[in-house]
Amino acid sequence: MKLIVALSLFGVLISGVQGLQLKEIVGTTGEPVLYDKTNAPVFRSYSDAEYQQYIASKQSEKVAFVPIKHKPDNLSPDARFGFMNINRVDVSWALQGDDVAGYTLYLDLNENGDLADDRPWKFEKNGDKYELVVNAMMSATEGDTKISFPIIFKVQIAHIKMQGQKDMLTMLHFGGSIRRGVLRVDGKEIAFGLLGTNGTYDRQGDCVLIDKNGDGKLDAETPKSSELYKLAEKYINIGQTSYQINVDRFGRSLTLTPLAEKRPDRAKLTPGDEAPDFSFTDLDGKPHKLSDYRGKLVLIDFWGSWCFPCVVEAPKMVETYNKLHDKGFEIIGIDRSDKEETVRKFIADKNMTWVQTREEDDGPLNALFRVDSWPSHFLIDRDGKVIRFSNNWAKIVEEVDARIGK
């Protein structure tokens, strides 16, 4: 009887521990901080007449767009107009000034079409550039409740030269921001951050940053950083537990929901990490493995014939391959989404003689290497370790030349 009772109590204890392990972990965040390390979209400016034509064209599109209904009274006749996406709405703006007098921006942050009730934002001159950091509160509706949330972004004046035309006045929009917080996992505090765009943090391309190495920093800049997770990945491993990721739309919190079974750890892809081995079948049905190429410098090239930069790079890749193949340079091409006949015709026309395979949209190799832009190049050394990841062929060929080209 005592043994039965003891076993029963032990079962209760185990059940209690498992219940604790399956409890959601919630971390709240602080105020957003500007993150301007990513590429900035360019927003062109329009004259008043051009802007009115643009409004007419937008009416037929299924986008959230708020046109200007009322302008500030002191707006000059030569003011420029445009729009930018904030909180998933295309809001309008008016810009007046020049490089001598400076610039003032009227931005419809309250999304009512009235620029007269919006504060004027003065640009500051930073070196030879006019820049403005907008740090403001916005409102949105959650269910039946109206809430306020902070937003921060940077805009920069840019003059773009168009062939045969006058310089075009544009604005670069740096919409990235990070909200930081701390998670308590297994009795330990782990720093985290939410990297969002234009006031929201829950899109598939937005990111969660986790301080995996405990150095107090969040690495968002190393390509394929082990501390950065796109929300499209859906899951994250911390310790021996896998969690489903859930991010509040406005970045106020991160919720991690434990899974009953641990998912496989994702591949490490930063310089010095051993590249994940993989098997594939080429277009002729011949099997290959990455490890078959040990002793050679290998470029893994994720591409598609629909990708304009891939098409532009192809002749340059052929030139490098023909020059360095006999010195131990190999390429593995992984096409995404093209039909086989399209791939065969393309590589024949471009004289791309290295081994090729192809995958559909959600192929396992694209998932393994976390490819989300094309082209994506991974350079692997003779020992099977990652040298570099880049979307830019020029940067890859610099590494190749440095190692065997000279």
What would the pLDDT profile of 277-304 be if each residue is shown by its tens digit? 999 999 999 999 999 999 999 999 999 9
Q: Express each pLDDT in 127-157 by its tens digit.
A: 999 999 999 999 888 888 999 999 999 999 9
Q: Express each pLDDT in 162-173 by its tens digit.
A: 656 678 899 999
Q: What percent of the chain has pLDDT over 90?
A: 84
* The predicted structure's pLDDT at residue 115: 97
Measured between alpha carbons, how far apart are the two ends of the chain, in Å?
81
Does residue 8 register a pLDDT over 60? no
Strand partners, 181: 29, 192
Q: How confident is the model at residue 5 (pLDDT cuts 50, 70, 90)?
A: very low
Does residue 176 register a pLDDT over 90? yes
Q: Express each pLDDT in 341-393 by its tens digit.
A: 999 999 999 999 999 999 998 899 999 999 999 999 999 999 999 999 999 99
Q: Average pLDDT in the 99-121 region?
A: 96
- Residue 190 makes CB contacts below 8 A (sequence gap 6+) with 182, 183, 184, 210, 211, 214, 238
Q: How confident is the model at residue 332 (pLDDT cuts 50, 70, 90)?
A: very high
Does residue 35 register a pLDDT over 90? yes
Take residue 114 and report the two structure tokens written for it: 């009235």
Q: What angle do CA 273, 220, 39 make, to 5 degrees?
A: 115
Q: What angle do CA 50, 124, 99 make, to 5 degrees?
A: 50
Q: How confident is the model at residue 55 (pLDDT cuts 50, 70, 90)?
A: confident
What the chain holds in terms of domains, given with CATH numbers, is 33-174 (no CATH), 182-258 (no CATH), 279-405 (3.40.30.10)
Average pLDDT of the chain is 92
Q: What percent of the chain has pLDDT over 70?
A: 92
Q: Express each pLDDT in 301-314 by its tens digit.
A: 999 999 999 999 99
More confident residue, 136 or 3: 136
Within 10 Å of residue 156's Cβ, how many Cβ atoms?
18
Q: Express each pLDDT in 204-260 by its tens digit.
A: 999 999 999 999 999 999 999 999 999 999 999 999 999 999 999 999 999 999 999
Query: How far is C-alpha 196 from the geometric centre of its chain's CA atoms?
Result: 9
Buried b (16+ CB within 10 A) or exposed e, 43-64: bebbeeeebeebbeeeeeeeee
What is the reported pTM? 0.88
Q: What angle do CA 262, 266, 270 make, to 5 degrees?
A: 150
Classify 237 in phi/psi space as left (phi over 0), alpha (psi -120 to 50) or beta.
beta
Report yes or no: 376 and 366 within 8 Å, Cβ to Cβ.
no
Nearest to 317 by CA among 397, 221, 254, 243: 397
